Structure 1
Amino acid sequence: MKKRLVAIMMVMSMTALTLAGCGGGDSASTDDTAAAEEGSEESSADADGKITISFWHYMSTDKEGKFVQEAVDEFNESQDEIYVEAQYLPREELMKQYTIGVVSGELPDVGMVDNPDHNSYAAMGVFEDITDLYEESGDTNFLEGSISSCYYDDKLYGLPWGNNCLGLFYNKQMLDEAGVEVPTTWSELEAACEALTKDGTYGLAISAINNEEGTFQFMPWLLSAGGSVDDLSSAESKEAMSYIKGLVDSGYVSSECVNWTQADAEKQFASGKAAMMINGPWQFSGLAEDAPDLEYAVAQVPKADNGDYASCLGGENIGICTGANVEASWEFISWIMSKDKSAEICKSIGRLSPRSDVDTESLYADEPNWKVFAEIMPNAQSRGPSPSWPELSAAIYNAQQQVITGAKDVDAAMDEAATTIAGLENK
């Protein structure tokens, strides 16, 4: 009980933070908030005598919302006994309603959650344990990084919905004119940045802002160096932070990165003020609007000279909520996350399928940049998973801010962050 109360208090304090890797957020309108406050109706029969279950999601754009609703309609038309009512709530409002609903008992049957936050809400009691349903289904074809974000205390509390990850965007013309090959290692990236940083253009744009986006962008460097969130005081973890600090101190990355969101990094790249950037596929639409004639391509985030390629997992999961009609809800989520439907929905809404049996090579054969991200995805690692992730993340992005701004050196900042995290894990 104490653990659950701690989880509720922690999530309530962190819900206002920016969420990374999901294509951005939005704010609640009066109508949206009023609808959310009505809560979830108990499973009941609709006009056609079907069992009704509710599905809360935050796919708000016309494109995303349209395809989600089309999938729900298709499911409803295929059913004789179950009817799904899909309801959009702005992301921050939805997270707030989970916190309220776990106390009031007013939760939907099925709900969406940002994947690094899944553990926090599972610990709070928002989601049902579906381990047995999942294992008995025989359909366990999910990528390790994706499905791991759904586990809490060795129990499964949902399924991955759609994912994305980070890669290196580069301006093809700038690299060609400078005679620079696409960098694959940290040494190569540093050399490329040196050649490309000139005339008001930085070699690389990143987001090192003091919220989840900053942590999200730091993770590939940390993982590639062999570092770990569990030991930020290790030599490998410090090496990753030292490398970022070196890029800034050398003038290859703007010191303003501590104030930049990932969308800000995209603006720098689109305007020609950065020759490369670390970002995700959700920026494709922004680049098409901001720089429709820009010739760019995508590659893996460069790896540590003695390390492996690494990327960080973004996206959403869905779970069956506590008190739901579990049987009907499982029918829905197992259908919508089936192989064919997952491939169709994810491509439509600008995500990558979390399933290991989706043929991404064929799916993105005519879209080379998407294909690169599809190739990166199998090795992308989730953030955490941990019910304390919001606070762990804060320790990481605070350390990064302190190092880049010069408030603390790498040793002091990373040792302090490691101590903070050790205290959280021992709660």
Structure 2
Amino acid sequence: MRTAQKRTGRAPKVAVAAAALILPATLTACGGAAASGTESPNTLTVQDYLDPSRDPLYQACAKEVGVTLVISHVAGPGLIRKVLQQSSSRTLPDVLMLDNPDVQQIAESGALSPLSDYGIRGEGMLPAVVKAGTYAGKLYGLAPAVNTLSIFYNKEMFRAAGITTPPKTWDDLRANAKRLTTQDRYGFAMSTINTYEGTWQFLPFMWGNGGTEQDITTEETVQAVQFLVDLQNDGSMSKSSLIWSQDDVIDQFIAGKAAMVVNGPWQIPALQEQRDVQWGAFTIPTRLPTQTTVAPLGGEVYTVPRTADRAKMAKAGRFVQCLVSPEQQLQTAKVAQNVPTTPAVAEQAGRSNPALAPFVTTVQNARSRTALLGPDWPKAATKIYNAVQLALTGKAAPAEALRLAQGD
């Protein structure tokens, strides 16, 4: 999950889960009868919400498959609505990119064909990646590369504060954040905004501590919310986190107003442009040293919609198979600053790009947001960010905030 960049020429994906939540759970006029909208048997339509930087990767696979492409880049918030309209008008694209949490909704509607129809089963890929693209036991989408969350830190500020190693536990993180906080700088920053973005950033603290979206009132999740409240009460985390997006957070970091920030690898190009900022990254600490960091799995998957043209669907399947091949995974990782979805390829990417290494580590245990609740995930995500907002605004203690947000 990432938001549009203001500092680079890229226009990466914008979270679309909010749009998905307000739309109907089923599509109309699917049933495998939609048309792709192109007449030529050797032309495939590809639809995504990414910027044109991916187009050369698409063209490489088009050459391998022997087709020409018509590429459509849709604004992120409007993608799901457009897919619904295309399904109704029988004009679905041949290849459709989706944010991985949206696969459940679209697959449930019957608009997608199983990738197994084209011999694609996700062998060798991270299990969480395969699970993210699976609905009702069938694989509908795969990602060539994924992202997750870690913490960027200012090396110069760490040195000045006498901090020699990144924190490993919440206690370490809290102590370091206090030490790094000054009159004009916060020691720690993250987004706790009341959108899915806020939930996304909170998940590593909840999941890493054993909390679950199936019941957000457990002691493990209470502890995670309390940890953020403590950081805010210490003065180490700004109350503005309640309205900051992830891009706002990275802006604070670049401006020297925050020493540590939770964010994703898509920010690496913006950070690399900052000649005056010495930065590094480390995995998000856990409450106990015996726990493992568990962060959410982000990234886009490619699917083959059901259309009336079986021959073109087969070519679309070959195109998707090319996009998720090890060679294309590595190229996608370079373009998007994401982590390849095959472990061996991910390790190779981490070796060639040290800035990506903490994300490579975290991805090994990353979890799909829809893994437990499937299409019901957006409801849980809303409860989570509402609870965090209640607690950080002081309207309720963490346990009560979670109970009120759970609502049952």
Please, what TM-score do these two structures have when normalized by structure 2? 0.86
For residues 249-291 of structure 1, what are the alpha-carbon distances to aligned partners after superposition, in whole Å with 9 as ceiling and x for unaligned?
A: 11111111000001111111111111111111111222234x3
Which deviates further from its counterpart, 370-379 or 217-226?
370-379
Q: Is this contact kept in 2: 1:21–1:164, CA < 8 A?
A: no
Q: CA deviation at 1:307?
A: 2.3
Which of 180, 183, 188 is 2:172 aligned to? 188
Aligned to 1:7: none
Distance 1:387 1:92, change over 3 A: same
Q: CA deviation at 1:139?
A: 5.2
CA distance in 2 between counterparts of 1:79 and 1:269 reads 44
Matched, 1:152 2:135: yes
Which of 220, 223, 229 is 2:207 aligned to? 223
Which of 262, 272, 282 is 1:278 aligned to? 262
State how 1:63-78 maps to structure 2 within 5 Å: 65-66=52-53, 68-78=54-64
Q: CA deviation at 1:40?
A: 6.5
Distance 1:348 1:20, change over 3 A: closer
For residues 20-61 of structure 1, what are the alpha-carbon distances to aligned partners after superposition, in whole Å with 9 as ceiling and x for unaligned?
A: 47865479xxxxxxxxxxx9644543xxxx53221111221x
CA distance in 2 between counterparts of 1:168 and 1:192 reads 13
What residue identity is the alignment partner of 2:332?
I
Distance 1:197 1:343, change over 3 A: same
Aligned to 1:370: 356
CA distance in 1 between counterparts of 2:138 and 2:225 reads 33
Q: Residue 243 of structure 1 aligns to a residue in which SS?
A: helix
For residues 133-178 of structure 1, what are the alpha-carbon distances to aligned partners after superposition, in whole Å with 9 as ceiling and x for unaligned?
A: 36x5565121122221111222221112321111111111111111
Which of 58, 77, 98 is 1:113 aligned to? 98
CA distance in 1 between counterparts of 2:187 and 2:262 reads 11
Aligned to 1:249: 233
Distance 1:138 1:357, change over 3 A: farther
Distance 1:187 1:220, change over 3 A: same
Q: Is this contact kept in 2: 1:110–1:319, CA < 8 A?
A: yes
* Identity level (%): 28
Matched, 1:57 2:48: yes
Matched, 1:103 2:88: yes
Q: CA deviation at 1:89?
A: 1.8
Matched, 1:133 2:124: no
CA distance in 2 between counterparts of 1:77 and 1:159 reads 20
Distance 1:72 1:196, change over 3 A: closer
Runs of 5+ consecutive residues of structure 1 not aligned to the other structure: 1-18, 28-38, 421-427
Aligned to 1:348: 335
Q: Residue 365 of structure 1 aligns to a residue in which SS?
A: helix
For residues 313-336 of structure 1, what are the alpha-carbon distances to aligned partners after superposition, in whole Å with 9 as ceiling and x for unaligned?
A: 111111111226431211110111
Q: Is this contact kept in 2: 1:201–1:272, CA < 8 A?
A: yes
What residue identity is the alignment partner of 1:196?
L
What residue identity is the alignment partner of 2:406?
A
Q: Is this contact kept in 2: 1:102–1:125, CA < 8 A?
A: no
CA distance in 1 between counterparts of 2:227 and 2:201 reads 13
CA distance in 2 between counterparts of 1:274 and 1:83 reads 47
CA distance in 2 between counterparts of 1:342 and 1:224 reads 27
Aligned to 1:15: none
Q: CA deviation at 1:229?
A: 0.7
For residues 227-262 of structure 1, what are the alpha-carbon distances to aligned partners after superposition, in whole Å with 9 as ceiling and x for unaligned?
A: 111121111111111111111111111111000001
CA distance in 2 between counterparts of 1:364 and 1:300 reads 14
What residue identity is the alignment partner of 1:111?
L
CA distance in 2 between counterparts of 1:25 and 1:75 reads 21
Which deviates further from its counterpart, 121-130 or 405-414?
121-130
Q: CA deviation at 1:304?
A: 1.4
Q: Residue 406 of structure 1 aligns to a residue in which SS?
A: coil
CA distance in 2 between counterparts of 1:380 and 1:25 reads 20
Please, what TM-score do these two structures have when normalized by structure 1? 0.82
Aligned to 2:30: none
CA distance in 1 between counterparts of 2:214 and 2:99 reads 21
What residue identity is the alignment partner of 2:259?
A
CA distance in 2 between counterparts of 1:121 and 1:148 reads 15
Distance 1:163 1:392, change over 3 A: same
CA distance in 2 between counterparts of 1:224 and 1:272 reads 28
Aligned to 1:179: 162
Q: Is this contact kept in 1: 2:339–2:349, CA < 8 A?
A: no
Runs of 5+ consecutive residues of structure 2 not aligned to the other structure: 6-11, 16-33
Matched, 1:197 2:188: no
What residue identity is the alignment partner of 1:116?
P
Q: Residue 364 of structure 2 aligns to a residue in which SS?
A: helix
Report the number of matched residues: 377
Aligned to 1:413: 401
Q: Residue 175 of structure 2 aligns to a residue in which SS?
A: helix
CA distance in 2 between counterparts of 1:226 and 1:321 reads 36
Q: Is this contact kept in 2: 1:20–1:216, CA < 8 A?
A: no
Aligned to 1:123: 108
Aligned to 1:236: 220
Q: CA deviation at 1:124?
A: 3.1
Q: Is this contact kept in 1: 2:36–2:90, CA < 8 A?
A: no
Q: Is this contact kept in 2: 1:102–1:124, CA < 8 A?
A: no
Q: Residue 293 of structure 2 aligns to a residue in which SS?
A: coil
Distance 1:179 1:215, change over 3 A: same
Distance 1:199 1:107, change over 3 A: same
Which of 282, 307, 324 is 1:337 aligned to? 324
State how 1:161-180 maps to structure 2 within 5 Å: 161-180=144-163
Matched, 1:396 2:384: yes
